[in-house]
Amino acid sequence: MKIGYIFPGQGTQTVGMGKDIYDKYEEAKNIYLKVDKALGESVEDITYNLSQEELNQTKNTQIAIYTMSLSILEILNNAGIKPVASAGLSLGEYTALTCANAISVEEGAKIVRTRGRLMQELAPEGNWAMAAIIGMEDDKVEEVCSKVEKGFVKAVNYNCPGQVVVSGEKEAVLRAMEIAKEMGARKAIELKTSGPFHTEKLQEASKELRKELEKISFNECKISVIKNLDGKPYAVEDDMVDILANHVINPVKFRKSIETMLEMGVDTFVEVGPGKTLSGFVKKVCKEKGAEANIFNIENVETLENTLQNLK
């Protein structure tokens, strides 16, 4: 069995996520305490006590998902589960790098908190949105964006066969959703996000993030981590600061990341964190490739204990 971990990004957050795991597992609680100490604030308060609207703010979403995912990861580590590779969707790449010991929990928490704040506060003025276009191939979604007569919209997340996320000005995104349906898309769904993420509109946030990333001590990855930028594993000579600074202004190649993990021989995928969106992406990639894989997602005590039972 070759295990690969996949870590979710924004859009999967719900108030109270992971609370049953926090209450039952001491090692999960310890991760929250470690992050709280590093930040000088309570991530439990952010995750469990804010309204859904407040939690959906990027500055809160990112640290809440990162910490929840790490709390589950700590339980998996203590159970002796050993992955050969990890990948994450956008924010999830930081969790994947922490999983591989490329960054410490504390430094990861600080940079994720800062990243969320910068992406929210340094987004240019405007009404921004993101939407998933479902049932349409990548090049067709790019064509849809080119057909939008007015405003800014781009394809930004290449998630899996038949699903691409577009990002931009709200009116342009809504128009892209209409055009996509006219051109044969099965569905177009607006997402729970609040900025023009993974586009050049976040150039200012990227510049400021680079300054913060330069303060971090990065280590060599202990397991393979697949990059969002190109869907390839980090190499020893890679400049992590440059890659992660560019990460917020470039599309996410998650489909390619899953294909790379399959090529590496990963036959068991474990989605670690809220939701099971990424598990769905893996299923679609496997179907297209004619590959078979075991797929688990862990977001509560029930799914955690089921996965542990199957992986031990």
* Number of domains the chain is built from: 2
- Among 161, 190, 219, residue at a domain's last position: 190
What does the pLDDT read at residue 47? 98
Residues 281 and 91: their CA atoms lie apart, in Å, by 17
247 is catalytic: no
- For the whole prediction, is pTM greater than 0.75? yes
Q: Is 167 a catalytic residue?
A: no
Residues 166 and 283 in one domain: no
Would you say 209 and 93 are in contact if contact means Cβ atoms under 8 Å apart?
Answer: no
- Residues forming a β-bridge with 75: none
289 with 257, same domain: the answer is: yes
- Is residue 294, in this structure, part of any structural domain at all? yes
Helix (H/G/I), strand (E/B), else coil: 167: strand
Residue 67 lies inside a defined structural domain of this protein: yes
In a domain, 267, yes or no: yes
Starting at the edge strand found earlier in the chain, the sheet holding 85-88 runs: 224-226, 85-88, 3-7, 268-272, 294-298
176 and 137 assigned to the same domain: yes
Encoding tokens for residue 168?
């931009």
For residues 30 and 172, state if they share a domain: no
Both 92 and 11 in one domain: the answer is: yes
Instruction: Check residue 194 and give its pLDDT.
Output: 67
Q: For residue 41, what are the CA distances in angstroms to 10, 37, 47, 103, 291?
A: 21, 7, 12, 20, 44
Report the alpha-carbon distance of residue 186 to residue 266 in Å, rounded: 30
Q: Considering the domain boundaries, does residue 195 fall inside one?
A: no
Verify that 64 and 210 share a domain, yes or no.
Answer: yes
| Residues 137 and 228 reside in one and the same domain | no
Out of 141, 166, 190, a domain closes at 190
Q: What is the pLDDT along the chain (312 residues), one digit of tens a residue?
A: 999 999 999 889 999 999 999 999 999 999 999 999 999 999 999 999 999 999 999 999 999 999 999 999 999 999 999 999 999 999 999 999 999 999 999 999 999 999 999 999 998 999 999 999 999 999 999 999 999 999 999 999 999 999 999 999 999 999 999 999 999 999 999 987 767 999 999 999 999 999 999 999 899 999 999 999 999 999 999 999 999 999 999 999 999 999 999 999 999 999 999 999 999 999 999 999 999 999 999 999 999 999 999 997
Domain harbouring 298, CATH code? 3.40.366.10
* Catalytic choice (69, 71, 86, 90): 90
Pairwise CA distance, residues 219 & 202, whole Å: 27
Residues 252 and 170 placed together within one structural domain of the fold:
no
Indicate whether 186 and 214 sit together in one domain: no
Domain housing 282 = 3-123+200-311
Q: Does 167 share its domain with 297?
A: no
Count Cβ neighbours within 10 Å for each residue of 33-68 and write b for 16 or more, e otherwise: ebbbebbeeebbebbbeeeeeebbbbbbbbbbbbbb
Q: Are 112 and 20 found together in one domain?
A: yes
Determine the Cα–Cα distance for residues 258 and 282; give it in Å rounded to an integer: 7
Looking at 71, 86, 167, 198, which residue is catalytic?
198
pLDDT at 191: 87
SS3 label, residue 44: helix
Answer yes or no: do 134 and 119 share one domain: no
Q: Are 117 and 225 in contact (CB under 8 A)?
A: no
Among 146, 170, 190, the domain-final residue is 190
